[in-house]
Chains A and B, each alone.
Chain A
Amino acid sequence: MMTREKFEEAVLPPVVALLVAMLVGDALILLFGQSPGAVYRMLLEGTWGNAYGLGQVLYKATTLTFTGLAVAIGLRAGLFNIGAESQLAAGGFMAAVVGLAIPAGVPALLLLPVYFLAAALAGGAVGALPGWLKARFGAHEVITTIMLNFVVLALLNYLISSRFKVPDTLHTRELASGRLPRLDAFLPAFHGSAANVVLLLALAAAVLVGWFLFRTRAGFELRATGLQPAAAEYGGVKVGRVWWHAMAISGALAGIGGLNYVLGYKGYYEEGFATGAGFLGIAVALVGRSHPVGIVLAALLFATLSQGGLAVNALVPKQMVDVLQAVVIIAVATSVPEVRRLLRGFRRSNDA
């Protein structure tokens, strides 16, 4: 009984939010003089309806899973990490810079840990700094992560344009070795899509995050800190340390997300390679209720919407899908307490 209630309370808000978003979408589509049924059908056909579209959805969902997990780790520790955007970029950049120094011919499997570490360390450092500033000086992480986004992105852009770029482009040279195979290497149907094996890393990361949060002692202390810092402190937890550790893990997860583009897709770092994926990670974490399973599903949802926007461009402006995404976020943010109250109301009338 209890578990069913918990399940309902966790799952209903996002579902209701999606329904609300679809209603708003209907209204918008009608305004454009189109039939909602046709547009939604086109959206689904362009995403889940064919292997290429599905591949694109999976590719986008991969990055979003990483940034969603990153934001969720912060939220579980009571921190709002708005910096996934720059942590993601820093991870991708560091992986590329390290990769540029590696000669051709080294097997990818050997190199993966190196790239992995480079991305995690760079993203983790960008995350840990605001965590440490909060623990040491009480600086609010929302402010510092937002500001650090500007600093880090500007720094990366400077480094790219002054040192690393291939002339007349905004990207680095292609990496000589260590690139990861795309899905079409195993399933030819995915030909042309960006989906690649980093997808499996994302799923592994989701499992690992769930294990960390709910099975380990460190996860216990992290969740305790997030719910009630005073009680965690009383329980012998060093709250400041948990804060900066959580932010470091959060940044590292976002940073590893950079591999999706750098190793899995293009083989180089490009300025703005995943613009918006960090911020969308906030939405993914909120809609996914900071739970790994929810995050994977929410990442698929948002990836579908953003790929679907391209698919329906012929009928309605693709910005319409941006509006849908925004409505989902707003609806989730407001519906959580609302739906709970609704649920209680139902139960009350059932009991009576």
Chain B
Amino acid sequence: MSNAPQQQDTAVRMSGIEMRFGPVRANRGASLEVARGEIHALVGENGAGKSTLMRVLSGMYVPNAGTVEVSGRDVTGWSTARAIESGVGMVHQHFMLVPTLTVAENVILGRELTKGGQLDRARAVAEVRTLSERTGLLVDPARMVRDLSVGEAQRVEILKALYRGAKILILDEPTAVLSPPEIEELWQVLRGMRDAGDTIVLITHKLDEVMAISDTVTVMRQGETVGRVATRGTSPADLARLMVGRDVTLAADMAHHASTTAGAHQQEQGAAALEVRDLVVQGARGVTAVNHVSFSVRPGEILGIAGVEGNGQTELIEAIAGLRAPRGGSIHLGSADVTSMAVRPRGDAGLSHIPEDRHERGLILDFSIADNLVLGQQHRFRKGALLDHARIAENATTQVATYDIRPTDSSLPARALSGGNQQKIVIAREMSRDFTVLLAAQPTRGVDVGAIEFIHAQLRQAREAGKAVLLVSADLAEVLALSDRVAVMYEGKIVALLPRAEATIERLGAFMTGAEHAA
């Protein structure tokens, strides 16, 4: 086959991609064109079909319709094995590494080098080291994967793809788990790869990243491709409009706005609504996840906790919520010591909790919307031993209307709803109960831009109503947009606690990586 020059320049061309999962159409005639040697950002809200489209490209899914061309060759419906052979590699959001093997062993897994029937470990280590040094993805090949930080584990994933000869590298939301300096390092590596002639497709929904790293942007909305523009010729506001289909207020703008108005919310010293003193909590595998942490949140204040995920935030929230017994220290709600209370009495004492994982904790996916709207308050919606279904239905009607939960049929299982609407169920439930302290853990994770606006407004409303809000978010822009004070957690400790006016991305970034320690 004679390759026309323009085909040589096109690394990937996908058109009319249709991908259905049962009644769900994840891709509706989506298209994508990526030039060789560029960094191409694929953006869109959660559920826009970005990951699905990339899984079609990497051979994980066979599309119901449409064509996939790689380097001018029709490869529609190929297998992952063929995709890897042809140099298409994908780094997934959730790492697929074996924790008890070394870096080198993970990298060569599936392509093991042997010498006389045995693994040639020495050569594996040497090859991985060479690759690591050449690309700048620095990580010691001899270390166990379970001992690596998240950033290092991600480098191993990328190495794995490159080791298999990837020339077209797909990265699915690679920065979700990285601190700002780690993100900067990743950009360095990606630029190096691009300059060496490799092609990179970056899935993301963070527009500042798009502007920082990409050459070209493709925007998806509801399974369709709605735009393809040169990064130089666009702006975050334009991209956001394409993503959502209307004008939106970006969290980054809000952050700016908040910094100028934060003074208005500075509270006079009053009694704390939530007081955590010298708290010690063990995480999984017995490590100390929360290490002598103390802070307090006053009524009418949002305290934001920033930090790279996995630095003890989850365990801290779980300990306050009563889901994990602390090893030491105390937790007070107002004047009540709740340190050893169970979950339900804590709720009755005025604690409300938006958990970080709605699929695991926040919702029972097979229960109806109505039942989910009373989860945690089933002891209030009852007649004797029976559930009061009439009141549960009445409550559902009210909440569905107030919080604009769609679809409105509250007998549907929560599973049937989009991420944003699922989160609205959680928000509706936790905001409508009687509370003084709200724990909001990753409240906007995996929800669309429209729902983010709504949730942020709800959190602000809670503050205006005099509630104490403890916000934990991996999204720095979100923390900055909402908080009156910002704390940074690093390796189980609060390493900084700053008033909003003094919290800049640069300073927080330094604390998040442990580069700077508060006195």
Q: Which of A's residues lie within 8 Å of B, judged by CB?
A: 2, 215-218, 220-221, 223-224, 227-228, 230-236, 238, 344, 347-348, 351
Contacts and interface: CB of A to CB of B under 8 A. Distances in A.
A268 to B, nearest CB: 37
B213 interface: no
B23 interface: yes
Interface in B341-387: 342-344, 347, 353, 355, 357, 360-367, 371, 375-376, 378-379, 382, 385-387
Given A230-B357, A235-B343, 7 more contacts: A217-B379, A224-B364, A224-B375, A231-B362, A236-B379, A348-B20, A348-B23
A144 B362 CA distance: 31
A234 B355 contact: yes
A299 B502 CA distance: 70
Given A228-B360, A230-B361, A348-B20, A236 B343 contact: yes
8 contacts: A2-B412, A215-B389, A223-B367, A224-B367, A230-B360, A232-B364, A234-B321, A344-B22
Interface in B322-337: 323
A228 B365 contact: yes
A215 B388 CA distance: 9
A344 B64 CA distance: 15
A233 B343 contact: yes
A217 B382 contact: yes
Given A216-B386, A220-B371, A238-B342, A231 B360 contact: yes
A231 B363 contact: yes
A68 B438 CA distance: 44
B342 A234 contact: no
A344 B367 contact: no
Contacts, number: 74
Interface residues of B, number: 32
Contacts of B375: 224, 231, 234-235
A34 to B, nearest CB: 44
B355 A348 contact: no
Shortest Cβ-Cβ A-B pairs, 7 listed:
A236-B344, A235-B376, A235-B375, A234-B361, A236-B343, A344-B22, A230-B360
Nearest to B20: A348
B355 A217 contact: no
B71 to A, nearest CB: 33
Nearest to B347: A236
Contacts of A232: 364
Contact of A220 (B23, B357, B387): B387
A238 B376 CA distance: 11
Contact of A231 (B361, B379, B389): B361
- DSSP majority for the A interface? helix
Contacts of A216: 385-387
Contacts of B362: 231, 234
Contacts of B321: 234
A337 B323 CA distance: 34
Given A215-B387, A234-B353, A236-B379, A227 B365 contact: yes
Contact of A227 (B357, B366, B378): B366
A221 B378 contact: yes
B60 to A, nearest CB: 18
A230 B389 CA distance: 24
A217 B347 CA distance: 18
Nearest to A221: B378
Given A220-B387, A227-B366, A236 B376 contact: yes
Contacts of B364: 224, 227-228, 231-232
Contacts of B378: 217, 220-221, 235-236
A217 B386 contact: yes
A31 B376 CA distance: 59
Given A217-B378, A220-B387, A224-B375, A233 B22 contact: no
A227 B414 CA distance: 13
Contacts of B23: 344, 347-348, 351
Contact of B323 (A220, A221, A233): A233
A78 to B, nearest CB: 12
A234 B357 CA distance: 11
Contacts of A218: 385
B348 to A, nearest CB: 9
Contacts of A221: 378
Contacts of A234: 321, 323, 343, 353, 355, 361-362, 375-376
Interface string B388-432: 010000000000000000000001100000000000000000000
Given A221-B378, A227-B366, A236 B342 contact: yes
Contacts of A215: 386-387, 389
A223 B371 CA distance: 12
A132 to B, nearest CB: 18
B34 to A, nearest CB: 30
B379 A227 contact: no
Contacts of A2: 411-412
Contacts of B365: 227-228
A344 to B, nearest CB: 4
A208 to B, nearest CB: 12
Among A227, A228, A347, find the residue whose CB has the most chain B CB atoms closer than 10 A: A228
Contacts of A223: 367
B431 to A, nearest CB: 16
Nearest to A345: B22
Contacts of B343: 233-236
A81 B386 CA distance: 26
B407 to A, nearest CB: 11
A221 to B, nearest CB: 7
A217 B385 contact: yes
A216 B22 CA distance: 34
